[in-house]
Amino acid sequence: ENENDIYFVCIQNFKPQFVKMDCSYTEKEAAIFEKILELIITNDEKCIASRVVFESILANDLKMTQKEFGEIMARFHRDKWIESGPHNTIILHARAILEMQSFIMDTYRDDIYNCQICTRLLIRGLVCSNSSCDVHMHRSCAARYFLRLSNSTNKKSAYPCPTCKKEWNKNDVDSVLKTTKTTNENSDQQPTTTAVNKRQRTSRNNNNSTNNRSVRSSARQVISESDDDN
């Protein structure tokens, strides 16, 4: 119970490799997905252009035509492993982040964050504008946090970082609050106004609202034989 360390407890035993998670993909397709995962997570923007993925595939001797590439990318989209990101890029779908969580945390420890609010794995999200502060938040968590601030004080302009208290980037605040109003996303999670220390993680993955919903709605193809060791 060392509070200075970050522990990750993964409740569900998903296979580290994509091909073992979804046997309907060939090994080559799985290798492509893992390449996409790597390119996205190691990119500072946490997104990648399809063209870069294709070039990288060719550079890695995963022989494939442009047409085949288009087809497999469409399938990754359809199966909710990836989705469209900003400026014609692709990003990881919440399904990929949740189901491949342990693999991502083991493999890309230095390229990922924990959300300051919910403490869960965060790939893309908001970051504090104070360069000496390392606070990151999921957009949905930030929305609840900012919403609570806007409801609890009459000063609608005061949206401090939960840790360093520097005023949060106004564009971020406006954008997440706008999204919240239009989608009216509800949640039974309690927002937190004070910093949530990164601490041993014991909560289950499946009480998060948005992410989980999309994951649950996507049909998983489960092949049982020889695929549930450990």
CA distance 199 to 34: 28
- Minimum distance, C-beta of residue 125 to Zn ion, in the bound complex (Å): 7
Residue 141 or 149: the one with the smaller Cβ distance to Zn ion is: 141
Residue 111 or 134: the one with the smaller Cβ distance to Zn ion is: 134
CA distance 26 to 152: 52
Residue 133 or 147: the one with the smaller Cβ distance to Zn ion is: 133
Helices (H), the chain: 18-21, 27-42, 50-59, 66-78, 94-99, 101-107, 139-152, 170-183, 209-217
- Minimum distance, C-beta of residue 192 to Zn ion, in the bound complex (Å): 10
Give the Cβ contact number of residue 47 at 10 Å. 20
For residue 195, give both structure tokens: 């910093």
Instruction: From 165, 174, 109, select the one nearest 142 (Cα to Cα).
Output: 174
Per CB under 5 A, the segment of 1-9, 37-45, 76-84, 163-171 that binds Zn ion is: 163-171
- Minimum distance, C-beta of residue 165 to Zn ion, in the bound complex (Å): 7
Interacting residue with Zn ion among 164, 169, 175, 189 (CB under 5 A): 164
Kindly state whether residue 32 participates in binding Zn ion, applying the rule CB under 5 A. Answer: no
CA distance 188 to 191: 9
Binding mask 114-143 for Zn ion (x = CB under 5 A): -x-xx---------x-x--x-x--x--x--
Interacting residue with Zn ion among 32, 91, 161, 177 (CB under 5 A): 161
Binding mask 81-120 for Zn ion (x = CB under 5 A): ----------------------------------x-xx--
Per CB under 5 A, the segment of 59-67, 148-156, 162-170, 216-224 that binds Zn ion is: 162-170
CA distance 73 to 171: 32
Strand order in the sheet with 48-49: 48-49, 89-92, 82-84
CA distance 163 to 148: 16
Residues that bind Zn ion in the complex, under the rule CB under 5 A:
115, 117-118, 128, 130, 133, 135, 138, 141, 161, 163-164
